[in-house]
Amino acid sequence: MNGAAVNAIPAQQKTGSELAGDPDTADAVQVALGAEHAAVWCYGLIAAFLPAALEKWTRMDADAHRARRDTAVRLLTDAGRRPVAAEPAYRTPSPVTDQATAVQLAQAAEHDSAAAWHSVLERCDDADLRRTALDGLTDAATRGARWAAKAGTRPLVPPMPGET
């Protein structure tokens, strides 16, 4: 047996076993899934208050969160865990009544998503799950920066995205 044979265990199975075995890891992925469910819901509300020129952004961002949500569902299901379901509605940090407050909600949704994936990084050892979590954190920070630029928020990027 050489080193390559050890690596030949399917990545999915390795990830699944850590998710199946460590309740801390599974809880963190469930929280990330919850954040993605919430983000998908938020972008539905946000789209209603943004002009047509920004429609492409909201659609792209909503699609990205749907893809992350589906990844989290698959990881948990493969590990024999029941993925948390989306809530019928969510309470926003402040009322959304116009474009400015809709952009604020987009920033809040990205902040929550970044924090949730950062928390997965703090609670897992599996290399593939870490890459998934890093992708989630990086994309949320990047989308958050774009919305911050739109809102005029500074700094555009927190120095340590995802840290709370």
Tell me the per-residue interface mask from 90 to 119 with other proteins, x by CB under 8 A, - otherwise. Answer: ------------------------x---xx
| Position 134 contacts other proteins (CB under 8 A) | yes
- Which residue pairs from 135-141 have beta carbons closer than 8 angstroms and sit at least 24 positions apart in sequence? 136/32, 136/68, 137/161, 137/162, 139/64, 139/68, 140/110, 140/111, 140/113, 140/114, 141/110, 141/114
The residue (of 26 and 96) whose beta carbon lies closer to other proteins is: 26
| Position 151 contacts other proteins (CB under 8 A) | no
CB of 139 to other proteins, least distance (A): 9
Burial class (CB in 10 A: 0-12, 13-18, 19+), 160: exposed
Binding site for other proteins (CB under 8 A): 114, 118-119, 121-125, 127, 130-131, 133-134, 137-138, 140-142, 144-146, 149, 154-163
